[in-house]
Amino acid sequence: MGEAPGQRSGPGRARAAAAPLAARLAAVVAAARGAGVPCGEPRVLHDGYNLSVHLAPSPVVARLMTLLPGDDASRWRAVLARELEVADHLRRRGVPVVPPADGLPPGPHPCGDTHFTLWRLASRCGEDGRTRPDPDAFATHLRRLENGMASFPGDLPALGAWRQVSRPDAALCGAPEDASWLDQAWRRVDARLSELSAQHLMPAHGEAHAGNLLWVHGVGWAWHDFEDASRMPCHWDAVCAVWRGALPGAEGPETGWAAAVRERVLGPAAGGDAFRLALAARAVLSLCGGLTAAAAGLQAGGSARARLGATRRLLAELGMEPG
């Protein structure tokens, strides 16, 4: 099996800061021009563990891996190369994916101590202005994705989407009692996942939520962001799509949409032990990752900390409360 991509949180990583956005933007624009992409009006689409830049006026998006101090650049380059392999496999299997940029080598291209890949420009909104398909259409897209991933012939890391976020650093949580709870929760979930045998892990996208389904002209809704592709527990990709709606206290359109997708994709399986474990793991993973990203200056910290109480209640409901 392949190696996990590397850990993005854990003791000693709490205050690991990413390079300033302006420096990363200037570096990737210069490197993209060197790779043959005309770019006079770069526009930042997203800044996080990846920096996504529309290299306007070209219909090309550069996705630059954001390295934190201590990250292994060669390992993350391998992750980007595997992402391209997964996308190509799915495309050949008839699964709609955001394609690499037309007429350009997709990469990974070097950019200082990191790398970037080149993709066709896609939109967050469909032609009808919606930011995601309706539940029936999304369920169909998810099934096609799961079927396509099942036949991927290459190596994928066991529990890779989980392993990239290690035991949380106490300094990320604020209150000592919250830090203690999150550490225990992470240990309990990690122990349960580590007990799973190889036959209980299956190829997965790793982050198959609606935000990773973009609209491509001439293609329609298409999957992207395969960096977390790995061998994960049953129902992992479905849980990625619906877990926010399952948090206690969740409300609004997200809750109803998630419930409808869960019913269409999982049905009775949503009450089973495999689903409950995947749901607990996804909630803890998101909380740890969000706190780490906030400490690195890649997102606001308030939203992740605000989810801590809801995550505690969710794990209690699932019977996985540490203690």
Q: What ranges do the domains of the chain cover?
A: 21-120, 135-317
Architecture of the structural domain at 21-120: 2-Layer Sandwich (3.30)
Beta strand ranges found along 104-208 (DSSP E): 109-111, 114-120, 201-204
Predicted confidence at residue 14, as pLDDT, reads 39
CB 83 within 8 A of CB 227: yes
Per-residue burial over 213-226, b if 16 or more Cβ lie within 10 Å, else e, is: bbbbeeeebbbbbb
Q: Look at the pTM and tell me if it is higher than 0.75.
A: yes
Class at the top of the CATH hierarchy for domain 135-317: alpha beta
pLDDT tens for 102-151 read: 999 999 999 999 999 999 999 999 999 999 999 999 999 999 999 999 99
- 295 CB-contact burial (10 Å; exposed 0-12 / middle 13-18 / buried 19+): buried
Longest dimension (CA), the chain: 57
Higher pLDDT, 78 or 253: 78
DSSP state at residue 200: G
Cα–Cα distance for residue pair 202/266, rounded to 1 Å: 16
Q: Tens digit of pLDDT for each residue in 300-309?
A: 555 666 778 8
The pLDDT of 39-49, averaged and rounded, is: 92
Percent of the chain with pLDDT over 90: 64
At 168 the pLDDT is 62
